[in-house]
Structure 1
Amino acid sequence: MDKIKKFHINFTKNIEIPFFQVSPQLRVRFGVELFDNGKLSLLKDILSETLDHPQEINVTFISGYIKNDRRYREKTNIGKYIKIKNWSETITYHDEIDANVIFTTIQNIRFEEVYQYIKSVVKGMRSSYIVIYNENYLVYISEDVIDFISYDQNLIQNLKNHYQGLYDTYYEK
């Protein structure tokens, strides 16, 4: 999870999603409705531009909780799409729920696995609290939005220029 720190977000404190932890110059948001009616090629284009590079792709998500010395697993469906082979867990205590939260990181996943997982979320599958990231971009996925974050505002500006009129501008100010 150390690689997430370069994006200046705190993923383990899931009070606020990553999008709201950075300035507008470092983020861009797409509503999942943009990919309805067979527009999955647009989704693949955006993901290819951001994640399909020779750099390592990692994923971090909430995989469960520990409360009263008992471990509870989240149903994530990650294993359906991503081959889990090189993973680690980080456990952090959260006062607000009086429990430990288990964050799992899977390293070095393939772009096609990422695309298949995000495509299934866009089509309606429930998503866990998850980010996918490489050297330049961090991607947060939910049932409603796909957020791209970078530490380099030029990379985000390039995305905004390339997909002008398609990305969500509601929180741009």
Structure 2
Amino acid sequence: MERIQNTFGITFYADEAPIFQIDSKRQLVIQTDAFKGKPTRLRKLTSFMFDRSSVIDVIFLKSYLPLGFKKPIITTNILHNTVKVKNWKEFHHKEETFGMTRNFVIVTDVKAHEVYNYSRAIIKGKRPSFIAFYNDEYFYGINDDELSIISRTPTHIEELKSYLDSL
């Protein structure tokens, strides 16, 4: 969590989605339809962002415990067998407003092809999770409608836009 806050200035577990926590010059939202039937384009995008020297991590919501519940609600099949979980740690966040506790997992040292595999699974219709992949330059989330990309600097987003235009 600290790496996300220090690098991108966002709080993953905040009430506001990460894409709305930052300046528009550091964000890019792309409809998933732009990648349906175009796996090469998706692979090139994920490679551009994540085939770099910095370590890739993934963070996701594992479970949550609403106020008054005795057992947590576990989110299942989060990674769709696309990411090999090796180095991971779990942490809890309790919301002040509603009293709900959420449990997050951070997996470190994810490979670029695993980011692509997860993204491809979502575009093919697998159920998305509250999840994000990140390295030292990009913070990337995908759901069934859109890809949300946050960069450390506006320059990184401009480079990414230029690269996408060239595809």
Q: TM-score, normalised by structure 2?
A: 0.90
RMSD of equivalent CA atoms: 1.8
Displaced runs of 4 or more, over 4 A: none
Segments of structure 1 that go 5 or more residues without pairing to the other structure are: 167-173
Per the alignment, residue 107 of structure 1 pairs with 108
Letter in 1 for 2:18: P
Name the stretch that deviates more: 139-148 or 59-68.
59-68
Contact 2:80 2:118 in 1 (8 A): no
Deviations 1:42-82 (A, max 9, x none): 11111111111122110001010135453331114316111
Per the alignment, residue 34 of structure 2 pairs with 34
- Pair 1:18 & 2:18 matched: yes
Per the alignment, residue 53 of structure 1 pairs with 52
Q: Tell me by how many angstroms 1:119 deviates.
A: 0.5
Q: What is the aligned residue count?
A: 164
SS at match of 1:163: helix
Deviations 1:24-43 (A, max 9, x none): 1101111100012x211111
Contact 2:65 2:72 in 1 (8 A): yes
Give the 3 Å change call, closer, same or farther, for CA 54–165 of structure 1 in structure 2.
Answer: closer
Q: Tell me by how many angstroms 1:164 deviates.
A: 3.9
Segments of structure 2 that go 5 or more residues without pairing to the other structure are: none
Contact 2:80 2:121 in 1 (8 A): no
For 2:72 and 2:86, how far apart are their aligned partners in 1? 21
For 2:166 and 2:11, how far apart are their aligned partners in 1? 30
Q: Tell me by how many angstroms 1:83 deviates.
A: 1.0
For 2:25 and 2:166, how far apart are their aligned partners in 1? 17
Contact 2:136 2:152 in 1 (8 A): no
Per the alignment, residue 131 of structure 2 pairs with 130
Question: Percent identity among equivalent residues?
Answer: 27
Contact 2:138 2:150 in 1 (8 A): yes
Letter in 2 for 1:88: K
